[in-house]
Structure 1
Amino acid sequence: MKFTDYCLRSEGAEVVLATSSDEKFPPENIIDGRSDTFWATTGMFPQEFIISLNKCVTINKLTIQCYLVQTLRIEKSMSKEPVDFELCIQKELQSTEGELQIEEFSFPEMQASYLRFIILSAFDAFVSVHRVIADVIA
């Protein structure tokens, strides 16, 4: 079995919405495939971003690499536009004291063309999101 990560710019993914933007740490860093680059929020919560996949895909596992995120909500949409989102999961994350938080979420064949990540609360005034990985069996 071959796994493909559809949350990569090279696979046609785009960040179509982000509630904050810093030119040094833009939202596009989430989909560049690197853990050493990131999107930084500009304070105040909730914060969110939406990733557009280049087609409707079946996702088996989502992984997010982030820092200082406390409460995370993930939603999906199968629409042609980023509307009609449905809750996938909401979770309280553990603080990792200076380390990246790496959270994996398994789904029994979840279909999505858009993924919305809502950071409801944080352990500090700012958070960073380094990568989102969507494992899709090709």
Structure 2
Amino acid sequence: MLDAALSSYGAQIVLVSSSDENHPPENIIDGKTETFWVSTGMFPQEFIIRFPDNMKIFTISIHSYNIKNLRIEKGTSEDADKFEAIAETEFEHTESSLQNNDINVNVSNATHLRFLILSGYDHFVSVHKVSVQS
């Protein structure tokens, strides 16, 4: 299966609600868990990944830290202006290791995925890697 959320595949981060120059949002899609994007506090936080083509998506994997509630939405328009919820989940709190969550979605078509971090276990959260199996 192909990981469609890699920058090397052509995926892009087209929107992010906060940014830290030392931990830019592009780290989410570089394929590494050692690099990450960090929020700058307050909730909700969000980021949008755009794919180079319309994708069929089976599973979304997220490596993160301190995320409590997450909603994932898909978009099918080129403008990324209309989204439809496809999953909402609560992550388990982990003290000394990354949260590693696989979310089965089975989406027939998506040009964008919007990730809405609704709450966290702390003021700041980090997203280390997002993988999209298509």
Residue deviations 1:46-78 (CA, integer Å, cap 9, x gap): 000000011111011110110000000100011
Given the alignment, which residue of 8, 16, 20 partners 2:14?
16
How far, CA to CA, are the matches of 2:108 and 2:132 in structure 1? 11
Matched, 1:92 2:80: no
Segments of structure 2 that go 5 or more residues without pairing to the other structure are none
Distance 1:35 1:94 in 2: 18
Q: Is 2:60 aligned against 1:62?
A: yes
Letter in 2 for 1:56: N
Where does residue 128 of structure 2 map in the other structure?
A: 130
Task: State the superposition RMSD in angstroms.
Answer: 0.8
**Separation (CA, whole Å) in 2 of partners of 1:75 and 1:83:** 11
2:70 counterpart residue number? 72
- Identify the residue that residue 100 of structure 2 maps to in structure 1: 102
CA deviations over 1:95-117 (Å, ceiling 9, x no partner)? 01121011111123432110000
Where do 5+ consecutive residues of structure 1 fail to align?
Answer: none
The residue type paired with residue 56 of structure 2 is T
CA spacing shift, 1:115–1:109, aligned 2, 3 Å: closer
Relative to the length of structure 2, the TM-score reads 0.97
Secondary structure, aligned partner of 1:4: coil
Which residue does the alignment assign to 2:26?
28
Partner of 1:49: 47
Report the number of matched residues: 134
In the alignment, the residues of structure 1 paired with residue 105 and residue 120 of structure 2 have an alpha-carbon distance, to the nearest angstrom, of 25
**Paired amino acid for 1:39:** W
TM-score by length of 1: 0.94
**Change beyond 3 A, Cα 1:109–1:17:** closer
